[in-house]
Amino acid sequence: MKSMEEMIKAAQEAAQNIQQQMEQAQAMLDVIQVEGVSGGGLVKVRATAKGRILNVAIDDSLIVPADKGMLEDLITAALNDAREKADAASNAEMSKMSSGMALPPGFKLPF
């Protein structure tokens, strides 16, 4: 049987390894890009899987003062679409990382 000191050292090393993997996964989420689209492609929003908005593209045909309300609704819809896709990409990356860990039943990571 291992000594208590060896078990504690192994647990600390495992915790450090998990923390490094989490940091790498978080960094990767800021590199993964998704695109939200609304209005049949008239409004597009690019974002990272962390939710950082990178770009909003609006088709020139939408820039009419009388259509301001519609444009705002389309932008909102595109942002929401991008956020949903970012959440899905984030969950997929975190699942990849946590699938190799032997976590106790019911234990969930904070992401």
Say whether 17 sits in a helix, a strand or coil.
helix
Provide the residue ranges of all domains of the chain, joining segments of one domain with +.
Answer: 30-98
What is the per-residue pLDDT for 41? 94
Q: Which residues on adjacent β-strands are paired with residue 57?
A: 44
**30-98 CATH fold:** Ybab; Chain: A; (3.30.1310)
- Ramachandran area for residue 24 (φ above 0: left; ψ -120 to 50: alpha; else beta): alpha
Write down the pTM of the prediction.
Answer: 0.57
DSSP classification of residue 36: E
Interval 9-37 mean pLDDT? 88
Are 85 and 36 contacting, i.e. CB atoms less than 8 angstroms apart? yes
Share of the chain above pLDDT 70, in %: 87
